[in-house]
Structure 1
Amino acid sequence: MHDPAGEALSALARPGMGTENAGPALRVLARMLRPRTVVEVGAGSSTLHLLLGLRDARSEAAEDRRIVRGEVSADERASVLHPRSVLDDYAPRLLVVDDLSVPGTSAHQVREAACSLGLDDMLTFIDRDFFDLADHELDAWGQLDFVWLDAGTQADDAGFLTSLWPRVAPGGTVVLHEPFLATTVETHTEHGSGRTACRVVPTPLLQELRRQAAVPDGAFDVLALGEPHKHRQTGLLLLRKRGRWELDRGVPFPEELKALGETDSAEAPRLGSAPARAADDTADAAGGILAVLADDTRRTVYSAVVLRADTTQGIAERLGMAPGRCAKSLAALEQAGLVAYAEKLWSPVNEVWRHAAPRRPRPRPQASIPSKQGKRRAFLEGLVPLFALERRYPEAEVNDILREVHPDVAALRRYLVEERLLMRADGQYWRP
């Protein structure tokens, strides 16, 4: 059977690009999420998959509208549909940014392929370097429901996220290619250090995003999907921005089951080593807050919100600041839980400070320092959380901290520096 879409995809596919599974997954996500505004950075066969998914979603949305309006009889389907789905026509669009500068890709063929399949009405191709786009050009896209990033390096991906994440709508999804990479990693054993070549590990970006998502009431979810049969161009990383309606209700799991009419005897599953955070737990969220407020612009915007709830435009005018720059700061503050947006006004969230009281871990005093290198290394790694990141300690303060663990503070200092768990210069110590 003649399959124009299949033929077009075959013509665009490049085995070395590694999207043979990612492309169809994007098509399914487009159908499932029904995004209205989609952005892709880095054109290729995935562009066609996204367009095909949006075409399918558009067709299904039109049929669902007819069902909800009673124009088509399908009671079982009608029972699962949200009435809100018929309020507006579903008219998705895909904005693709690619300056066509990378040789060996199929980016230059995308527009022609889309036209041949009659999908070009949903496609806007922006033949530019992403980082040349000004804030007002990005703002003109409106809120983004779905973003696919498949271009550049880890540093580029970090830059894409910095620019686009504040513009992602609550409930929106960002997908990145290749959350794992093959590299040479150093290992530590009881017999010393060794090197293991070509181990597939999480990328630095994935590790950083997992750390950020792990804080209490994190602003987004992280899911990394790998392809175990590959060592490069492997897998997908999905980030989903949580909406305000997804905040922790603070009700114990059994009570919520009871409220739903289910059994109240079931225990909450424990998937991690630490117990789930209780509703009144004063977990340490100071690190995330300090990281956000380290920026002068964000501090200024936060101060303005604390002094008076206002709109983005109103805050920008009071501060004499560009609205786009103000919106970016507000998005970062919202992600940290410092401000909230309701009824078109930004207001401070005072509750977040209740979770920001830092608590320094206190390990049990150690009778002796392990003599074997491997066991000593593990022991020393347990001391690292005693020291805050990005802070320099005088030697006297380091001694006071280590004295709670063992009286031979000079030996502990020396071992920590030798293992590069602490750095030392000019009489000061810091955690790298």
Structure 2
Amino acid sequence: MSADLTARAGLFRALSHPARLSLLRLVWTREASGDELARLMNLAPATISHHLAQLTEAGLILTRQDGHHRLHRAHTAALNLILADVVRGATPAPTPDDPYRDRVLRAFLKGGRLTTLPAQRKKKDVILHELVTLFEHGRHYPEAEVNAILGDVYADVSTLRREMIGLGVLNRERGVYWRPEADADPSSPGDAG
């Protein structure tokens, strides 16, 4: 079986348990710690950890350290895949287990903040692809909101915006930003600028 088929099957395995679907629903719009999720779902923390690990392995949950707590949120970009495309293989399943990507993220993201923007293009692209997951597909953001989201990660938001637009992972027109869809959305207001 190819690695791509294995990754796609893993996506379905991760979604096949009712508790994991409930967890995703709880962290869809806001972050939550494992303890909070255990209380909300009335499950043991160890059970929640097990389910979170399954979702993280499939690339459906993003986790960041905040002081003594690990906060979890849905990886909405990975969850916005179209089922038919996943089955056909037109859209790759999330691949969270890329060792190079993991090393770059560990080296440059500490406690949910970007320590510095890498100078090397390949590393910078890994960071930018990770940061764009902070934005939902199909949603348009005013520049002030983009600045607030990116400002939580890195002080130089104008450089991040410019780099993300240059890479093509974020579009902009007249102070409005959006993530480009895999196939162009005719309702998006024009090209990147």
Q: Shorter-normalised TM-score: what interval? A: 0.3 to 0.5
Instruction: Determine which structure has more spread, i.e. the larger CA radius of gyration.
Output: 1
Q: Which has the higher contact order (CA 8 A, sep 6+)?
A: 2
Structure holding more helix per residue: 2
Calculate the TM-score normalised by the size of structure 1: 0.21
Calculate the TM-score normalised by the size of structure 2: 0.42
